[in-house]
């Protein structure tokens, strides 16, 4: 199937072609015709499946065909994070560049002045995070009375981040008659109830259950003592074929510490998390996308919605204690059908997390023992026993008191980029 077979108009097909998109992903194949028919949609899909295009392309077409762009906001796209809002805004700009539709993005953490100025000039499509949207509504800068299309994206993340009450406040301000597109990776009871209250006879589209998204990504686990993770990360990054990599930590403090360690080694790195200003986060993300920043270190909430084309590697510096989070993390690579490599560092305290992850994805992750920091824990999960530090294999430099850190390992470095693995 091609985009041309989805009955899309020429301005959008031209834009997609110039972006290099020819084949729609499964959710795009299913969702675009439904939205073009004017039906409400319930999409069970996570980031990386192509859902942004699945709702923005048909919305652009429907609005373009109405042929009355003006100052009234006709479409509202509500999303939980600043980064995701910006990326949706950029995608709409790319897909709709040959239409006359105006679009604007608003989010917190930065001055509202330029956002208000842009709104005064009029916009057809508004992409927003809940908090800033409510602020501007209360100040009289945004009116939702003319909304014809409403997209609620990543509804489950709205709940996780404590935004669900703000979402309900926004929903209460929307016209009763509108087309609603509702997307959520999971459907906890509160989200299912919200969907039922919003949607009218919806078509349900479900793709890529969370447990199966990991199957197309090459995965390795490195058993390592906690105090050796810093050295192991530096060792892995000696592979020049890893041009850029997204590194995950569990905490903001942990992310900052990893960045400081890498900067001491002259490796370009920056952290992205909730304590960073919006401008700092955007600068880091932009530098990562354009290749001037090699390592982006992120916490889970900050990374949700990060969409970087051709990202080949993800490193779990710390394993998450929620197995679904692991799938979301490694899903930053292997986007929309592409392949990717996920490397995970597992210390003795994280073995239980690894068990849960493998149970969820239905796979035994291959163990990489070919590194100088392999702990005595590199036995099968079910028979793991801690090994005292003095019994762990020692670094070659420790054995001879000098020499190259890569001694005996240069031949093995290439495996991280080629994905050669050793079975457990």
| Residue limits of CATH 3.40.50.300 in the chain | 3-208, 211-418
pLDDT at 382: 35
* Of the listed ranges 2-16, 288-302, 401-415, the one predicted with least confidence: 401-415
Q: Which two tokens stand for residue 165?
A: 């009450």
162-208 pLDDT per residue, tens: 899 999 999 999 999 999 999 998 888 999 999 999 999 999 998 76
- State CA 277 to chain mean position distance: 19
356-398 pLDDT per residue, tens: 889 888 889 999 998 999 886 444 443 233 333 333 333 333 3
Looking at every residue in the chain, the average pLDDT score rounds to 83
Is a pLDDT exceeding 70 seen at residue 87? Answer: yes
Could you tell me if 306 and 86 are in contact, meaning their C-beta atoms sit under 8 angstroms apart?
no
Could you tell me if 335 and 369 are in contact, meaning their C-beta atoms sit under 8 angstroms apart?
no
Q: How confident is the model at residue 67 (pLDDT cuts 50, 70, 90)?
A: low
- State CA 106 to chain mean position distance: 19
Is a pLDDT exceeding 80 seen at residue 338? Answer: no
pLDDT at 376: 62
pLDDT at 109: 86
pLDDT at 305: 55
* Of the listed ranges 76-80, 269-273, 324-328, 356-360, the one predicted with least confidence: 324-328
The alpha carbons of the chain give a radius of gyration, in whole angstroms, of 23
CB atoms within 10 A of CB 286: 12
Q: Which CATH superfamily is domain 3-208 in?
A: P-loop containing nucleotide triphosphate hydrolases (3.40.50.300)
287-308 pLDDT per residue, tens: 998 889 999 999 876 676 566 7
88-130 pLDDT per residue, tens: 998 899 899 999 899 999 999 889 999 999 999 999 999 999 9
CATH of 211-418 among 3.40.50.300, 3.90.1560.10, 3.40.50.360, 3.10.200.10:
3.40.50.300
Q: Which two tokens stand for residue 401?
A: 């008191």
Q: Which two tokens stand for residue 281?
A: 């986060």
Q: At what angle do helices 82-95 and 10-19 cross, to 10 degrees?
A: 120
């Amino acid at each position: 199937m091609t985009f041309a077979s989805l009955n899309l108009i020429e301005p959008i097909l031209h834009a997609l072609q110039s972006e290099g998109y020819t084949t729609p992903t499964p959710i795009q194949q299913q969702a675009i015709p439904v939205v073009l028919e004017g039906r409400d949609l319930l999409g069970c899909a996570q980031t990386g499946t192509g859902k942004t295009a699945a709702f923005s392309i048909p919305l652009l077409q429907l609005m373009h065909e109405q042929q009355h762009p003006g100052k009234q906001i006709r479409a509202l796209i509500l999303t939980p994070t600043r980064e995701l809002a910006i990326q949706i805004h950029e995608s709409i700009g790319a897909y709709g560049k040959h239409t006359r539709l105006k679009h604007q993005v608003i989010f917190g953490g930065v001055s509202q002045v330029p956002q208000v100025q842009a709104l005064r000039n009029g916009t057809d499509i508004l992409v927003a995070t809940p908090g800033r949207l409510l602020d501007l509504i209360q100040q009289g800068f945004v009116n939702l009375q003319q909304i014809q299309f409403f997209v609620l994206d990543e509804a489950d993340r709205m709940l996780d981040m404590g935004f669900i009450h703000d979402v309900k406040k926004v929903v209460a301000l929307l016209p009763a008659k509108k087309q609603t597109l509702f997307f959520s990776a999971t459907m906890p009871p509160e989200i299912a109830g919200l969907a039922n209250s919003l949607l009218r006879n919806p078509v349900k589209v479900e793709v890529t259950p969370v447990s199966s998204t990991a199957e197309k990504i090459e995965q390795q686990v490195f058993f390592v003592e906690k105090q050796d993770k810093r050295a192991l990360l530096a060792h892995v990054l000696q592979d020049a074929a890893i041009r850029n990599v997204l590194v995950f930590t569990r905490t903001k403090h942990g992310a900052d510490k990893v960045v400081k360690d890498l900067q001491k080694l002259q490796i370009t790195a920056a952290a992205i998390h909730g304590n960073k200003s919006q401008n700092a986060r955007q600068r880091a993300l932009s530098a990562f996308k354009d290749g001037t920043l090699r390592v982006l270190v992120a916490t889970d909430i900050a990374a949700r919605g990060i969409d970087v084309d051709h990202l080949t590697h993800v490193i779990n510096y710390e394993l998450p204690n929620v197995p679904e989070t692991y799938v979301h993390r490694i899903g930053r690579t292997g986007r929309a059908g592409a392949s990717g490599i996920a490397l995970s560092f597992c210390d003795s305290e994280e073995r239980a997390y690894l068990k849960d992850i493998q149970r969820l994805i239905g796979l035994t992750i291959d163990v990489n023992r070919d590194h100088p920091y392999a702990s005595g824990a590199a036995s099968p999960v079910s028979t793991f026993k801690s090994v005292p530090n003095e019994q762990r294999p020692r670094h070659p430099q420790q054995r001879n008191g000098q020499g190259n850190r890569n001694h005996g390992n240069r031949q093995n470095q290439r495996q991280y980029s080629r994905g050669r693995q050793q079975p457990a």
